[in-house]
């Protein structure tokens, strides 16, 4: 079972929910942080890292002595990452998506593979929980290629003994967020009852709906704002799976790096019930 914890905007408590779910999950689980631009799940789960590797992406390098300036590669590239500039063929590595098409099409063998560093993948153990995360290289603009590498490592970890996966997804509704939730069985949308929270959650709901996956909402800081989020969920038949109250003790636990479900019996019970509801949602899908 794969659970993606997502949100339309940052700062809603997505990592709070993901870490707490991992803490109460009643089956072997892998915690995966795909918020590679700003990973912070490890700050709560505090894993002991056992390995890491630099992730790279293949990009073309030109041998100008072999290039006949035919232009086939630059015509092919949809991203303008390789381009004829007068009498010279230029590459723009930061714009390359690593499809390899230009290398394949060059009959002169004037393009050979080189590499661009995407970032680092790290893995380890947080108690009984397996942990994996990616961290994007500073200056790297594209996170989906690194996210794909993190998922490859996840598949390696799953080979011996498949486990459930709880993913901390990137916030927003652009490519990284879609990429993070597309493999999941259930999407948990974390929001807060403020005008920004409602607006961004609507965007996320609309962006994820075409994937036809079961979704539910966790309202964080419940009691803070107005009823708009509840009206929207009711109108869209979107189940509110849990409400995390707007309380000083919870904010203090968060600020201290404490997993919220471990901060009190009340919070533990709240997240146990949330985990059960998520498992029921996944089960409903499996039963069809
Ligand atoms: S396809 Fe090959 S030969 Fe033609 S412009 Fe590109 S690199 Fe040069
Ligand atoms: S690998 Fe693909 S994206 Fe990169 S320059 Fe070549 S054709 Fe363009």
The total domain count for the chain is: 2
Tell me how far apart the alpha carbons of residues 213 and 218 are, in angstroms, rounded to a whole number.
Answer: 16
Tens of pLDDT, residue by residue over 104-115, are 999 999 999 999
Tens of pLDDT, residue by residue over 56-106, are 999 999 999 999 999 999 999 999 999 999 889 999 999 999 999 999 999
Same domain, 84 and 209: no
Ligand 2: which of 58, 61, 98 to mutate, most ligand atoms within 8 Å of CB?
A: 98
Same domain, 29 and 68: no
**Cβ neighbours of residue 234 closer than 8 Å, sequence gap 6 or more:** none
CA of 87 relative to ligand 1 center, distance in Å = 12
| Residue with CA closest to ligand 2 atom 2 | 99
Domain boundary among 71, 93, 117: 117
Tens of pLDDT, residue by residue over 19-55, are 999 999 999 999 999 999 999 999 999 999 999 999 9
CATH number where 165 lies? 3.40.50.300
CATH number where 71 lies? 3.30.70.20
Domain boundary among 117, 132, 165: 117
277 phi, psi to nearest 5 deg: -65, -40
- Kindly state the helix (H) or strand (E) to which residue 252 belongs, with its residue range: helix 248-255
Kindly provide the b/e burial profile for residues 214-233, where b requires at least 16 CB atoms within 10 angstroms of the residue's own CB: bbbbbbbbbeebeeebbebb
Same domain, 160 and 215: yes
Same domain, 89 and 207: no
Contact between 17 and 218 (Cβ < 8 Å): yes
Domain boundary among 75, 98, 117: 117
Q: Which pLDDT score is estimated for 10? A: 85
- Report, as an integer, the average pLDDT of 180-199: 92
Tens of pLDDT, residue by residue over 229-238, are 999 999 999 9
Same domain, 95 and 107: yes
Same domain, 258 and 133: yes
Which range of residues forms the domain containing residue 79? 56-117
* Confidence grade of residue 11 (pLDDT, cut at 50, 70, 90): confident
Ligand 2: which of 62, 72, 76, 79 to mutate, most ligand atoms within 8 Å of CB?
A: 79
Q: Which pLDDT score is estimated for 286? A: 59
Contact between 81 and 95 (Cβ < 8 Å): yes
| Residue with CA closest to ligand 1 atom 6 | 73
Number of the ligand 2 atom closest to the C-alpha atom of 82:
5
Tell me how far apart the alpha carbons of residues 252 and 112 are, in angstroms, rounded to a whole number.
Answer: 54
**Cβ neighbours of residue 165 closer than 8 Å, sequence gap 6 or more:** 1, 2, 3, 29, 30, 32, 154
Tens of pLDDT, residue by residue over 182-191, are 999 999 999 9
Q: Which pLDDT score is estimated for 287? A: 56
Tell me how far apart the alpha carbons of residues 191 and 140 are, in angstroms, rounded to a whole number.
Answer: 28
């Amino acid at each position: 079972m794969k659970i993606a914890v997502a949100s339309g905007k940052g700062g809603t408590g997505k990592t709070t929910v993901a870490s707490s779910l991992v803490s109460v999950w009643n089956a072997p689980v892998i915690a995966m942080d795909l918020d590679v631009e700003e990973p912070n799940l490890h700050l709560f789960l505090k894993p002991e890292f056992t390995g890491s590797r630099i992730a790279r992406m293949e990009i073309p390098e030109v041998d100008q002595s072999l290039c006949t300036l035919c232009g086939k590669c630059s015509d092919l590239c949809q991203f303008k990452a390789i381009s004829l500039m007068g009498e010279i063929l230029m590459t723009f590595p930061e714009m390359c998506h690593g499809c390899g098409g230009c290398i394949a099409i060059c009959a002169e063998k004037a393009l050979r593979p080189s590499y661009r560093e995407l970032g680092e993948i790290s893995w380890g153990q947080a108690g009984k929980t397996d942990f994996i995360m990616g961290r994007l290289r500073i200056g790297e603009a594209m996170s989906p290629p690194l996210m794909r590498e993190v998922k490859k490592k996840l598949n390696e970890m799953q080979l011996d003994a498949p486990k459930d996966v709880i993913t901390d997804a990137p916030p927003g509704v652009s490519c990284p967020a879609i990429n993070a939730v597309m493999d999941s069985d259930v999407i948990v949308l974390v929001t807060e009852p403020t005008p920004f929270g409602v607006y961004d959650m609507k965007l996320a709901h609309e962006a994820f709906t075409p994937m036809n996956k079961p979704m539910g909402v966790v309202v964080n800081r419940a009691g803070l704002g107005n009823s708009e989020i509840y009206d929207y969920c009711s109108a869209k038949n979107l189940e509110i799976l849990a409400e995390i109250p707007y309380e000083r003790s919870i904010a203090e636990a968060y600020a201290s790096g404490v997993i919220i479900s471990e901060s009190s019996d009340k919070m533990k019970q709240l997240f146990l019930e949330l985990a059960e509801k998520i498992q029921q949602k996944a089960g409903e899908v499996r039963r069809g």
